[in-house]
Amino acid sequence: MDKIIDYVADVTGERDRDAIDLAVAQALFECLDPDALTLFRLFEDDARERRLMPRAVFGAGYQSPLATVQLNRNLRETLPRVVDDPLVERCVNQQAAVRGSAADGRHRALFPLASDREVIAVMEVLTRDSMSPREQRMALGVLRILRNHLAILDYSEHDTLTGLLNRKTFDGRFNKLVTRVSRAEGEAPWFAIADIDRFKSINDNFGHLFGDEVLLLLARLMRENFRGGDKLYRFGGEEFIVTLDRATADAAESAFERLRHRVEAHAFPQVGRVTISLGFTTVLPGDLPANAIERADTALYYAKENGRNRVCGYEHLVSQGLIVPKTARAEMELF
């Protein structure tokens, strides 16, 4: 009992999601002593199919934490789909622990980890003998504590109105994004700032309740438009941030343009037509949050000054000579 209490104390002392995944998997592996234990995170691919991403794998004689591994899009598309495994699908859809048999005859138990809205992870336990009721209660109890801990983290990290991530979570997540920068296959992370056009007029003409409704509906459209691995933030007021995990330049621009079009085509109650302007930039090796914000904000300002309801990429504007990059501006000011 002392051992599991120590593990729970370690888990609830963590704030980093990767570290939490790893700590939970290790704690249950050492307490349950199974043949193997794997913690999978659920994510949606480009086709909105739910897939399983291994986050930590433990087995007899080996430990293979995968919490920091990032896969490119082609490899992510090879990961197993939830719908292809009936036991996993039942675990996810029913949000309940289920038991069955693995292909090699071992006992297989699956435990869901759910947020307030949906299952976000599945823990698979493989054993020679069926798990005892006590072991099952232990696993469910630890995961219940973890769910409560994640709920507290979610509350502190999300905007209370829209449910999107809030400003204070941005720097840490952006720094993680920078570590994934790679020019392999032409893909890179991307950063964008979206701003509702003439939002003050909406509040002035219709009142703040309808203004809040516009913010809520925009947040919903953003969730529907982007992949599960992409991060969405409300920075305050009518300003929103999007970070894309990996995409080509064309795919990134298409995703941002698709959002702009969906917002323009949406009928907002009472208000009617609403548009957004968006500026975006690629995330560079060693990038700093302030630098990415400045580049995207420069592109956003250009979009606002040139008609609104536009998507503008910083690098494209620079290459076309439509804006002067910061370093060049600084040199010009010196002389």
In the chain, the amino acid numbered 289 is P
Q: Indicate the helix (H) or strand (E) that contains 58.
A: strand 50-59
**Exposure of 242 by Cβ count < 10 A (0-12 exposed, 13-18 middle, 19+ buried)?**
buried
HEC readout, 75-114: HHCCCCEHHHCHHHHHHHHHCCCEEEECCCCCEEEEEEEE
| Given 238, 239, 253, 257, the catalytic residue | 238
Distance CA 217, CA 221 (A): 6
Adjacent-strand bridge partners of 232:
242
How crowded is residue 240: how many other Cβ atoms within 10 Å of its Cβ? Answer: 25
Q: What is the DSSP letter of 323?
A: S
Q: Cβ of 245: how many Cβ atoms within 10 Å? A: 22
Q: How far is CA 35 from CA 28, 38, 60, 140, 203, in A?
A: 12, 10, 6, 18, 60
Active site residue 238: yes
Cα-to-chain-centroid distance, residue 221: 15
- Kind of pairing between the strands at 62-65 and 98-101: unpaired
The sign of the CA dihedral 171, 176, 179, 180 is negative
Question: In which element (H, E) is residue 59 found?
Answer: strand 50-59
Assigned token pair, 299: 């592109």
Q: What residues act catalytically? A: 238
